[in-house]
């Protein structure tokens, strides 16, 4: 996850560069349930409105949570499927808060209603992220639910009225990129606290639609638009978060933006970005799926590190001899091609390995989702990655 606002705030009001944070446990994204009332085209968990077998019961969830706490996991993102379909979601949320986690709820928003908003507020979620895929027509088509857009925005409004920090989660594709400016305007209208742009990754339904992934130039323009909006908010005193995920080349792009607009700050920003280090799959990010299987992150659902029903998460995470995990934990990661030669590897960390794996079968191949040019990354010349060729047909 790349926190644009956090870095841009330091450009506006410079602060000393903090040393790289000492390691705690990873942020855990926990898909508590696979059932969902929607069937979105880009869903990585390929959910459906049916019960899936083998999911953890309340007691098992509580027991895993105790282990996560003693392992110093700081943040739980409770996700799905649609987590509000779990009858015990509020009990789980309350327990997580009582244990001291920062707790986020990741929802499609359509099940947040006048009836349950009081319970959602009382649970004490630190943040509710609601998925929006475009304007009304696009969103309802992506989500395959007429009225889904209005229902999601009702969820946003209810959260705001209840005093809950709320964000929009937007997955960028070629089909919805043109609507990004209007969505940012909607964010303004509804006084939304956070905008999370997720780059499309090739997993779940996203894999089947990779030819429709955003062109690199379009991706870059979208991120530059976020930079512009974020900087405008900061300089106008508006408190709001802009965050991106699944493309760590956004870090080097911000450095280039800074070299152009605030050159005197570039060296300090570069040090902050190196301390961040880019992609955190398998290190600072972990995923537990609905059946208790642990994965390096949410896009590695084919990669099984063991099940929390049989072995504590802390043991699976700490004692793994899994080759992919060993690679994630190397510094620098053993990436090849453009990533291996890139001048920004220490910032980006080699980006998103699922994209490399899905397109080449090699998890350490260069990331075809990188939109920076050879000149920018300091590489003399490389052939056009297969994905770009696919996108251009
Ligand atoms: S070439 Fe690879 S390491 Fe360099 S910025 Fe792009 S994705 Fe990151």
CA 219 to ligand 1 center in whole angstroms: 15
The answer as to whether 344 is a domain residue is: no
**254 ligand 1 Cβ < 6 A:** no
The pLDDT value recorded for residue 332 is: 97
Contacts for 372 with CB less than 8 Å, ≥ 6 apart: 249, 252, 253, 344
Is pTM beyond 0.85? Reply is yes
CA 38 to ligand 1 center in whole angstroms: 34
CA 227 to ligand 1 center in whole angstroms: 19
The chain-wide mean pLDDT, for the chain, equals 91
**345 ligand 1 Cβ < 6 A:** yes
Closest CA to 37 of 174, 117, 131: 131
Kindly state the greatest CA–CA separation across the chain: 60
For residue 352, the ligand 1 atom closest to its alpha carbon is 7
For the chain, the domain total comes to: 1
Closest CA to 105 of 150, 53, 158: 158
What is the spatial distance between Cα 83 and Cα 32, in angstroms, rounded to a whole number? 6
Over residues 272-294, the pLDDT tens digits come to: 999 999 999 999 999 999 999 99
**367 ligand 1 Cβ < 6 A:** yes
Cβ count within 10 A of residue 392:
9
Residue 163 CB-density burial (10 A; 0-12 exposed, 13-18 middle, 19+ buried): exposed
Over residues 116-140, the pLDDT tens digits come to: 999 999 999 999 999 999 999 999 9
Closest CA to 61 of 25, 15, 28, 106: 28
The pLDDT value recorded for residue 50 is: 67
Closest CA to 173 of 40, 289, 350, 2: 40
Average the pLDDT over 96-102 and give the result. Answer: 98
The answer as to whether 391 is a domain residue is: no
Whether residue 342 is predicted with pLDDT greater than 70 in this model: the reply is yes
What band does 388 get if pLDDT is binned at 50, 70 and 90?
very low
Over residues 7-49, the pLDDT tens digits come to: 999 999 999 998 877 778 999 999 999 988 877 766 666 666 7
Domain that holds residue 70: 2-332
What is the spatial distance between Cα 62 and Cα 65, in angstroms, rounded to a whole number? 5
Residue 82's CATH number: 3.20.20.70
The answer as to whether 253 is a domain residue is: yes
CA 338 to ligand 1 center in whole angstroms: 7
C-alpha distances in Å from residue 161, one per residue of 104, 117, 214, 277? 18, 9, 35, 37
Least confident window among 27-41, 142-156, 182-196, 340-354: 27-41
The answer as to whether 377 is a domain residue is: no
The answer as to whether 27 is a domain residue is: yes
Whether residue 183 is predicted with pLDDT greater than 70 in this model: the reply is yes
CA 347 to ligand 1 center in whole angstroms: 9
> Given ligand 1 and candidates 220, 348, 359, which is best to mutate, with the most ligand atoms within 8 Å of its CB?
348
**365 ligand 1 Cβ < 6 A:** no
The answer as to whether 368 is a domain residue is: no
The answer as to whether 337 is a domain residue is: no
Over residues 38-83, the pLDDT tens digits come to: 777 666 666 667 677 899 999 999 999 999 999 999 999 999 999 9
The answer as to whether 325 is a domain residue is: yes
**156 ligand 1 Cβ < 6 A:** no
- Residues paired with 167 in a beta bridge: 129, 194
C-alpha distances in Å from residue 77, one per residue of 143, 145, 230, 244? 21, 25, 24, 16
**385 ligand 1 Cβ < 6 A:** no
Whether residue 94 is predicted with pLDDT greater than 60 in this model: the reply is yes
């Amino acid at each position: 996850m790349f926190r644009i606002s956090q870095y841009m705030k330091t450009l506006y009001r410079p602060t000393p560069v903090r040393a790289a944070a000492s390691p705690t446990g990873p942020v855990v994204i926990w898909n508590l349930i696979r059932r969902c009332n929607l069937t979105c085209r880009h869903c990585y968990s390929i959910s459906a409105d049916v019960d899936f077998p083998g999911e953890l019961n309340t007691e098992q969830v509580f027991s895993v949570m105790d282990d996560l706490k003693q392992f110093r996991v700081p943040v739980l993102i409770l996700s799905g499927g649609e987590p509000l379909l779990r009858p015990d979601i509020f009990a789980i949320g309350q327990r997580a808060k009582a244990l001291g986690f920062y707790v986020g709820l990741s929802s499609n928003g359509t099940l947040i209603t006048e009836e349950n908003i009081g319970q959602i507020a009382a649970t004490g979620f630190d943040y509710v992220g609601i998925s929006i895929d475009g304007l009304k027509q696009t969103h309802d088509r992506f989500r395959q639910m007429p009225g889904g857009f209005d229902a999601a925005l009702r969820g946003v409004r209810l959260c705001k009225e209840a005093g809950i920090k709320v964000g929009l989660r937007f997955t960028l594709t070629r089909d919805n990129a043109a609507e990004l400016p209007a969505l940012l305007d909607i964010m303004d209208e509804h006084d939304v606290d956070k905008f999370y742009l997720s780059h499309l990754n090739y997993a779940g339904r996203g894999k089947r639609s990779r030819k429709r992934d955003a062109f690199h130039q379009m991706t870059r323009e979208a991120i530059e638009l976020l930079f512009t909006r974020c900087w405008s908010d900061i300089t106008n005193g508006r408190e709001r978060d802009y965050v991106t995920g699944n493309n760590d080349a956004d870090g080097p792009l911000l450095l280039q933006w800074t070299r152009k607009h605030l050159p005197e700050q570039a060296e300090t920003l570069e040090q902050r970005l190196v301390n961040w280090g880019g992609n955190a799959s398998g290190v600072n990010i972990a995923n537990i799926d609905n059946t208790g299987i642990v994965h390096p992150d949410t896009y590695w659902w084919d990669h099984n590190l063991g099940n929390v029903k049989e072995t504590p998460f802390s043991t699976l995470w700490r004692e793994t001899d899994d080759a992919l995990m060993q690679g994630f934990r190397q510094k620098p990661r053993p990436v090849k091609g453009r990533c291996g030669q890139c001048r920004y590897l220490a910032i980006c960390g080699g980006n998103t390995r699922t994209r490399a794996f899905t397109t080449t079968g090699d998890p350490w191949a260069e990331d075809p989702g990188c939109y920076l040019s050879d000149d920018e990354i300091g590489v003399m010349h490389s052939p056009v990655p297969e994905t770009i060729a696919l996108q251009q047909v």
